[in-house]
Structure 1
Amino acid sequence: MKYLKLVFITFWMIVLSSCSSTRNTNFNSKQIKNKNSKLIIGYNENLETLALIYNLSESGEYHYNKIPGPRATLSKELTSQFESFKNHEAVTKLNKLLNDGFVDMYDILLSLYNTKLPEYKQYAKYPSVYYENEGITAEETQARFDDFNISVIKFYKDADLKNRFKKGYRNIYKKIAEELQSVTPKNNIITELEDYYGVKRNEYEIIISAFSFNGIGRAILIKNDKYSKAACLVTSNHLLESDSININKIEHYNLGYKDIKYFQEIGIHELIHTFLHEIFKENEKNTLLINELNYLFTDSLKNNMKKQGYTDWKTCFEEHLVRLGELKIAQRLGNHDFVTKYRKECIEERGFIYFELIENLLLEYENNRIKYKNFEDFIPELVQKIKSKTQITE
């Protein structure tokens, strides 16, 4: 059976990058910001519903009880309104999926593979790892998920969530939207990302959440041959969220979305992961080349990366490139103070020891865009140049 490690969900901890094959024509996000940009920012009822079910499950008990508070104040307050649903079949079935290792401790982005509630039909297969379970076929695994998804529909209806999202929680999402006014990325951020990486998606979305446990950043790429959507989840900053919240007087509290560094670093960071998706998730040739650099994953680097949740060279290398992407985009946007501070932070505080080496090598890509149509084309050359600079030859 597939092993999914049970872990604390902490600041910037989780990245999920995945691929599907069918266009989701009804993503069900309620747009609250950036109406004139390629980037949509809003909440998603599917995700909020699954987050609530998770909160009521054994996973929710674990996170609320084991992680020191105050933490996830708004999420806890909202979840407390649904205590009578702790024994609902959706919660019971989720507990079974958790205990059997089919899902991780906060797999709420799986809801994005379904059409909007209350229809909630799965339109694309989950990533292959979800079907790799010992002693059970992929078809049997899918049947387990289908059964659970039916219970999610029932939960949505039984809990009257359609009405609650539309009316009861309107002021909460309005307050989040107000907090986002000063922290969202510039409208041209997507244009800069597309130009730098040589990749374009049909849609881009940052999902915010009132129900999710906070301090989470995750990204997902949904695509087929003709269509692609990049979406990422940015939950609230637990360091800023008020220690107690009265949802009936929500305007008096901080919901954790006022920190521009937090929101943009997680949001842009996760979006960049989707621009590197093909390199690290689909291109086997590039994966083999990247693994040839495994000798750079020294014991000291392993220990440093492990503290941040990165346990192998491929992930470590991707995180180097993602953070360099943040720096490069900031340069293009003229945010030079950020560039200086962030470079120092990545090297001295986070231990990305190959940061400056790779940063300099990226100039070859930036100055030869006729030769390199996109960033993926440059990976073989980048690997060879890293080998050369680190005195490794074939």
Structure 2
Amino acid sequence: MKKTTLLILLLFSLKSIGQQSKLKITIDERIETLYSVAFFNDYFLINNHENLYKNTLKNKLNILKNHKAVQLFDSLSTKYNFSYYRTVEWILQYSNFPEFNKTKNKADDYSTVSENKQFLLEEFKDELIKFNQDTLFQKYLKAVKPLNAKIISQVQNSTTIDELPSYLEEYYGKKLNSYNLILSPLLHAGGFNSEIINENGEKEVYALLGPNGEIDFVPYFDKDFIETDLILHEFGHSFVNPLMVKYENHVESLSSKYFTKELEKNGTNQGYSEWKYIFNELLLRATTIQITRQKFGNEKAEKLLNFEKSVGFELVENIVEILKEYELNRHKYVTFDEFYPILIERMK
């Protein structure tokens, strides 16, 4: 009898482990410290929604607007390309405050800022520690903890969010080592993808997302917005980006056919100016639409497609049609890697 009971408990435990979500959801103190500094600098990627975080920073911590960390962020972001995903990628290499030691590395070889300005990043690191440890800011972090818990709980309440890594792996035919979702109450209604190599040489994949609204001055992350758009898209970068690098010359060969002045303008409006990055975005948005179609239905997929058309990315629809060949022939193309060169040829 005892053996039977132990066996049942063991099986239950194994089942629970097997069902454990691959998606880790947090609000990260490092990111929030960085974006609080950015908020005081009127950084263009801070969201426009009035919320309790911003109101508290503005009304009770405004003295920190004169902090040297804010001044350094201004110089780095406006003069030395320390913006967009680069800020996130940089800070995720460091341990938590107050130590804030560099323990990890970027997955790519691009410099965060030019070599001759690295000393500014080092100075900014030291000032960011001081900013974080300021008594006022520590009180702020303590005050917003219940809000953080409320936001995370709201997002975790979804019945499908834990399934998203499986949806991605099923579509692309590959797996990632980790899925780390960081919610940022101060960030714009969008997101970034970052890849970090940890101490064990493993690649950690991050998606940083901002809210798309607020309810009673609490930042709100709409389920459809973050699931059928942002999460699938941002983690999708880690499946698609290496292929863009591998087939860069083939991708560039498409520019004469597709890279019109109008598309260049529309791409720049979306934050991308070079053809290879615009193409990568077009492809990612197309795969996101098709995963949404398979898992959430045609209505939501068509809504995403119509949005892409509205911002001048009509070419997404062409790529969607080509992707149907991949989807109907998975016995032939086990992974998306195998189909990528075929997609390039079809576009030619």
TM-score by length of 2: 0.80
Match for residue 179 of structure 2? 204
Partner of 2:10: none
Counterparts of 2:87 and 2:171, CA distance in 1:
30
Q: How far apart in 1 are the matches of 2:66 and 2:170?
A: 50
Decide whether the 8 Å contact of 1:192 with 1:329 is kept in 2. yes
Match in the other structure for 1:390: none
Structure-2 residue corresponding to 1:171: 146
The 5 A counterparts of 1:223-242 are: 223=197, 226-237=201-212, 240-241=213-214
Q: What SS is found at the alignment partner of 1:333?
A: helix
- The CA deviation at 1:115 is 1.3
Residue 323 of structure 1 aligns with which residue?
285
Instruction: Please tell me the residue identity of whatever aligns with 2:71.
Output: T
Deviations 1:94-144 (A, max 9, x none): 2333454252378541321211111211234555543563xxxx2x43333
Q: Which residue of 1 aligns with 2:35?
A: 51
Deviation at 1:185, TM superposition (A): 4.3
Q: 1:51 to 1:197 in 2, by over 3 A?
A: same
- Cα 1:332–1:122 change in 2 (3 A) is same
The match for 2:55 among 77, 94, 107 is: 77
Q: Please list, as runs of the form range in 1=range in 2, the aligned pairs for 1:1-394 lying within 5 A after superposition.
A: 36-57=20-41, 59-60=42-43, 71-80=49-58, 81-104=60-83, 108-109=87-88, 110-125=90-105, 128-130=109-111, 133=114, 138=115, 140-159=116-135, 161=137, 164-165=140-141, 167-181=142-156, 185-210=160-185, 212-223=186-197, 226-237=201-212, 240-241=213-214, 253-264=216-227, 265-280=229-244, 282-283=245-246, 286-295=247-256, 296-347=258-309, 349-369=310-330, 371-387=332-348
Identity of aligned residues (%): 27
Segments of structure 1 that go 5 or more residues without pairing to the other structure are 1-34, 243-252, 388-394
Paired with 2:135 and 2:296, the residues of 1 have a C-alpha distance of 48
Matching residue's letter, 1:268? L
Higher relative contact order (CA 8 A, sep 6+): 1
> In structure 2, what is the equivalent of residue 21 of structure 1?
none
CA distance in 2, matches of 1:327, 1:258: 19
Q: Residue 54 and residue 197 in structure 1: after superposition, are their counterparts in 2 closer, same or farther (change >3 A)?
A: same
CA shift in 2, pair 1:343/1:86, >3 Å: closer
Q: Distance in 2 between matches of 1:96 and 1:359?
A: 41
Task: Report deviation, 1:89.
Answer: 3.0
Change (3 A) 1:36 1:131: closer
Distance 1:226 1:331, change over 3 A: farther
Count residues with an aligned counterpart.
324
Q: Considering only aligned residues, what root-mean-square deviation do their CA atoms show, in Å?
A: 3.0
Q: Is the 8 A contact 1:72 1:214 kept in 2?
A: no
Question: Which amino acid in 2 is paired with 1:383?
Answer: I
Please give the per-residue CA displacement for 1:72-97, whole angstroms capped at 9, x wherever unaligned. Answer: 43342132222222233322332333
Higher helix share goes to which structure?
2
Asked if 2 retains the 8 angstrom alpha-carbon contact of 1:51 and 1:108, the reply is no
Aligned to 1:236, the other structure's residue is in SS state: coil
Task: State the TM-score, normalized to the length of structure 1.
Answer: 0.72
